A and B are shown apart, each in its own frame.
Chain A
Amino acid sequence: MTSATKPGRLTLVSGKGGVGKSAIATGLALYAHRQGRRVLVIDVTGAGGVAAHLGGGRLEFKPREVRPGLFALTIDRTKALAEYVKVQIGVPQFATMGPLARAFDALASTAPGVREVITLGKVLWEVQHGGYDLVVADCPPTGAIIGLLRAPRTIAELVPSGRVRHQAEWMSQLLARKTTELVLVTLAEELPTVETEETMALLAAENLVEPPTIVTNRVLSRLETDAKGTGVAAEAAILHRSLYRNQQDWIKRLQPARKLPYLFGLLTPGEVAARMADAWEHSESGSEA
């Protein structure tokens, strides 16, 4: 382990299920990479969303350079545990101790925070030692994000001693930095808006990271005409205007830092991520440096 490198920025991307987290996380990584930064994108959920949007096959636990300067990896629970134990705790032979590893996994399935701290530990280790300018993490949905971010504190409360507890401290510090950003992706609809507000309230109470950046996805632009039209053009205009009006109400309520556009028609996941990278470059921003 080297400690000479300066820790990079970290952007964690979460949001209600189905709002487009993976596309946006991958798009953000592509955008930063276009700016010439050395970027790592991590599929924290292991669900394969990042791999689909990057194209070029499955990802492994070991970072792979998918194009020069852009790296990607996916979290694998068993490997994360073995690496955690080896790197953080200093027990190198753990991976070969089958029954022990299975027993520990059973333990980690039951005790809150243990599994999360191992996942988060991998992400933060890459931030601290990987030598990247930016690490983008495609995280679990809002229902689980507090549990993930809170894991170091949960462990500290649960475990009075032991090496895992000792590790929890540097994690909490790294999360609380100004250069760690939490992006909550939402839609301009009722349920995602309410869920985002609830998550923001919980985050504010826990005070684990800086206040989140809200990004609203699938935003329609205003129709540049008041004409009514005829036939199907009129029908499409009516739907568009009603949807637009409703979206604007939810946008006013949540005041997102960024709005990303609704993408019409058939696109591959790779095209969606590229369009998200464009949108990240051109969308309004209240927070990006």
Chain B
Amino acid sequence: MTTRAANKTKAIVVTGAGGVGKTTFAAGLAVKAASEGKRTLVLTVDPAKRLAGALGLELGGEPRQHPEQPLLWGAMLDAAASWQSLARRHADPAVADRLVNNEFFQAATVHFPASQSYAAAEEAANYLDARVWDLVVIDTPPAAGGIDFFTSPAQMADLVGGRLLRLLTGGRIPGRNFFFNRGARPMLRFADQLLGSDLLERVGQFLMDLRTTYDGVASRSREIDSHLRKAATVVVTTADPAPLTEATRFFLELPDVAALPVAVVFNRSLPDRWATTPPLPAKSVASTNLALAENLTRWAAESQRQHDARVEFAARYKAPLATVPWLADAPNDLESLLDLLQQTEGLPSLW
């Protein structure tokens, strides 16, 4: 893959709500770092087709070097595949086979969004440990606005540690024959009535198999946790209420598990001067163009709303704010990605 080993790899986690452009921004950061001589890997989740094309990405593969920019590598996380490899890494071969083929295991990526985030975090940690890159830029899965990515190691250890199993059996970790004694237990008899006889047993088997991965997952999740605490977190948002609420969670809920964000990036920002321009006097509006003036009035209101949202956010949470202009055409090659970062204002130095 490469010949030189980096001394220390810095991690930048780019996070935020879905649909705000964080994958594009993460790609832009990586392209910029590479252009400044940093050996950079960007890990993305579900990029738009054209962006994936621009980065030369293929799903689930090993990191690939960009054909035009030799310092840039890209890899796409495949949550389902990482989740399977996790079972293979942490369980006996026979148990791993049983787990991977288990119907509940396959459904778990849907039921436990944390499992997807954990798989992504573990994969990212593996690349950090490889010490091949100066910088790894991680685009987080969208679950729970990205917060899950940071809490997933603990959640995962809890899941495989048997919390569900204990609830299921009333407090103790049972032996394998527990589920064959269901006639004696009201819970089992009831579940039996409700769901049919063997479902409970199948769920129990699954949770017991999953539990054998505990030692591996627990120790790995502590290592991942320490990587995440050292990472620089960049929150991407727009000035809209829903993604902004998600962004505040990184200040309110994150302190326990990670450092505070080093920057909050407001994507799709309109120029402040649109809002501050005084309205044209009625006479001159009539003499210029009414439709254009009305259009400006609408966008000026939007610009004002964005401005107010940024000011309010900055007053409440102490983090450097950066703005990325609202571009009609999403960047889809190295040049336009670099251009996006050059038009970004207020971003602190990240490497």
Contact = CB atoms under 8 A, between A and B. Distances in A.
B295 A236 contact: yes
Given A107-B195, A227-B289, A264 B299 contact: yes
Interface string A146-184: 010000000000111111110000000000000000000
A231 to B, nearest CB: 7
Contacts, number: 169
Contacts of A231: 277
Interface string A209-240: 00000000000000111010111111111011
Given A85-B194, A161-B197, A242-B328, A109 B164 contact: yes
B296 A233 contact: yes
Contacts of B18: 16-18
A144 interface: yes
Interface size class of A (residues with CB under 8 A): 35 or more
A100 B189 CA distance: 11
A27 interface: no
Interface residues of B, number: 67
Contact of A110 (B20, B164, B170, B330): B164
A68 to B, nearest CB: 29
Interface string B1-41: 00000000000000001111000000000000000000000
Contacts of A105: 167
A264 B298 contact: yes
B203 interface: yes
B110 interface: yes
Interface string A93-124: 00000011011111101111011000000000
B161 to A, nearest CB: 13
A91 interface: yes
A160 B196 CA distance: 7
Contacts of A109: 111-112, 164
A246 B329 contact: yes
A30 B15 CA distance: 35
Contacts of A239: 270, 299, 326, 328
Query: B194, B202, B206 — which one has the most chain A CB atoms within 10 A of its CB?
Result: B194
- Interface secondary structure of A, over-half rule: helix
B287 interface: no
Interface stretch (A6-14, A55-63, A188-196): A188-196
A107 B166 CA distance: 11
B292 A162 contact: no
Contacts of A245: 328
Contacts of B168: 103, 106-107
Contact of A165 (B165, B196, B202): B196
A223 B291 contact: yes
B130 interface: no
B330 A190 contact: yes
A91 B190 contact: yes
27 contacts: A17-B17, A18-B240, A100-B186, A103-B169, A106-B163, A107-B168, A107-B203, A109-B112, A110-B206, A111-B199, A160-B198, A162-B192, A162-B193, A164-B194, A190-B50, A191-B48, A223-B295, A225-B289, A232-B277, A232-B296, A233-B296, A236-B295, A236-B299, A242-B329, A243-B328, A245-B328, A265-B304
Interface of A: 16-19, 85, 89, 91, 99-100, 102-107, 109-112, 114-115, 144, 147, 158-165, 187, 190-192, 194, 223-225, 227, 229-237, 239-240, 242-243, 245-246, 264-266, 269
Interface of B: 17-20, 48-50, 103-104, 107-108, 110-112, 142, 163-165, 167-170, 186-187, 190-200, 202-203, 206-207, 240-243, 270-271, 273-274, 277, 288-289, 291-293, 295-296, 298-302, 304-305, 308, 326, 328-330
